[in-house]
Amino acid sequence: MDNYIVSARKYRPATFNSVVGQKSLTTTLKNAILNNKLAHAYLFSGPRGVGKTTCARIFAKTINCFNRNTEGEACNVCESCQSFNDQRSLNIHELDAASNNSVDDIRSLIDQVRIPPQIGIYKVYIIDEVHMLSQQAFNAFLKTLEEPPHYVIFILATTEKHKVLATILSRCQIYDFTRISIADMVEHLQYVASNENITAEPEALNIIAQKADGGLRDALSIFDQIVSYTGGNITYKSVIENLNVLDYEYYFRLTDSMLNGEVRSCMLLLNEILEKGFDGQHIITGLATHFRDLLVSKDESTLVLFDVGASIRERYRATAQRCPDLLLFQAIELANQCDLNYRESRNKRLLLELTFIQLCQLSDAGQTKSDDSKKKS
């Protein structure tokens, strides 16, 4: 039986061109290699799972490659590349600063720096989570970082750049990695699904990408989880069930009830959602996002701000045409205000119901029904 490899490792990029969602950074790094303008220290910062350590490894492999191509990519054939791929390279060293953050750890690293590379041109030291180094360790590292031997390159990676000393930052070229867009993640997940002979609905992959919040590693981990749950047939329904995501259908039903001014229908629908085990704050934040999505769906110029699949997109556009701009402005404000007050409220369900009543009264139908009830009383 073959050993199973998780998708995040199996499909980890091995070249700059295969890195997802960081094209400007990878282009800059490739150009630096092609033009032989390498700095002695780099700082890669950004959220988790966006490619910082991966790019550091690719960079380290590429600058030591003996037969780089014209695009600045490693050949993956020479001895240096092979040793890197087999994880036996003596030129590339990784240090996890989260668990090796003492002065002694840094002094040991500095001692290694003095030894020139046996094969290849550069020795590369990748220090992950560098913000976890102690104050004393930072101070011990400063001089070496500023004036390392010509054959040494440091690549520091961190998710919290603001915690890194300014004296360290000033000695590095800083590359800020961004969150990966939903479109890029969906495209990559489709590629992985195709390679693994897995059928996946675009809407399902879109939900996975949204849940990952810009981190491709998280998206691939969720993808593996869903594959195990579904047996290789990923559907929208299976994803929302496994990830406990509130179905779009509920938001559309709430919107219909709101536009028709049907308070009791809204309250019954809220009860149905709560009985399924969803948290009240999760409901109201999702509803605020839903109203925002309706707002950006009303105009072609703002559709670029809307990240959903094609089938849901058309439904949003159709529903948005029934919602006046002012109504959506007020609905977003009410939902946001409820979200802000939710944690402090002693009767959270009543707060949700009151918000739903106010939402129903925003429409002309809701106002008319409210006026009629006042006259009867």
The domain that holds 188 is classified in CATH as 1.10.8.60
Q: What residues have CB less than 8 Å from 364, skipping those under 6 apart?
A: 261
**Which range marks the domain in which residue 23 is found?**
7-176
**Token pair for residue 324?**
């006046």
Mean pLDDT, range 232-238, rounded to an integer: 86
> Residue 161 half-sphere exposure, CB side, CA atoms within 13 Å?
15
132 touches 101 (CB < 8 A): yes
For residue 135, the tally of other CB atoms under 10 A from its CB is 9
350 touches 302 (CB < 8 A): no
The pTM assigned to this predicted structure is: 0.79
Query: How many domains does one find in the chain?
Result: 3
The verdict on 190 and 310 lying in the same domain is no
67: domain CATH number?
3.40.50.300
The backbone region for 203, taken as left when phi is positive above 0, alpha when psi lies in -120 to 50, beta otherwise, is alpha
Burial zone of 201 (CB within 10 Å; 0-12 exposed, 13-18 middle, 19+ buried):
middle
Beta strand segments in the chain, E: 41-45, 92-96, 123-128, 152-158, 173-176, 199-200, 233-234
Q: What is the pLDDT of residues 94-119, one digit of tens each?
A: 888 888 778 888 888 888 888 888 77
Q: What is the pLDDT of residues 209-221, one digit of tens each?
A: 888 888 888 889 9
**Tokens 């001089």 label which residue?**
143
Taking all residues of the chain, what is their mean pLDDT, rounded to a whole number?
Answer: 85
- Measured distance CA(6)–CA(101) in Å, rounded: 29
The verdict on 130 and 267 lying in the same domain is no
Mean pLDDT, range 73-87, rounded to an integer: 83
pLDDT of amino acid 329: 92
The verdict on 16 and 155 lying in the same domain is yes
pLDDT of amino acid 165: 85
Q: Minimal CA–CA distance to 355: which of 371, 372, 376, 339?
A: 339
Domain boundary among 160, 176, 192: 176
The verdict on 197 and 262 lying in the same domain is no
The verdict on 164 and 33 lying in the same domain is yes
Residue 115 covered by a domain: yes
Q: What is the pLDDT of residues 242-266, one digit of tens each?
A: 888 888 888 899 999 988 888 899 9
pLDDT of amino acid 357: 92
> How large is the angle between the packed helices 23-34 and 52-63, nearest 10 degrees?
20
Mean pLDDT, range 230-242, rounded to an integer: 85
pLDDT of amino acid 330: 92
The verdict on 145 and 56 lying in the same domain is yes
pLDDT of amino acid 2: 59
The backbone region for 171, taken as left when phi is positive above 0, alpha when psi lies in -120 to 50, beta otherwise, is alpha
Mean pLDDT, range 324-330, rounded to an integer: 90
44 touches 56 (CB < 8 A): yes
**Token pair for residue 270?**
């809220």
**Token pair for residue 41?**
């220290």
104 touches 133 (CB < 8 A): no
Residue 2 covered by a domain: no
The verdict on 37 and 86 lying in the same domain is yes
Q: What is the pLDDT of residues 285-323, one digit of tens each?
A: 989 989 998 898 888 777 777 776 666 788 888 888 888
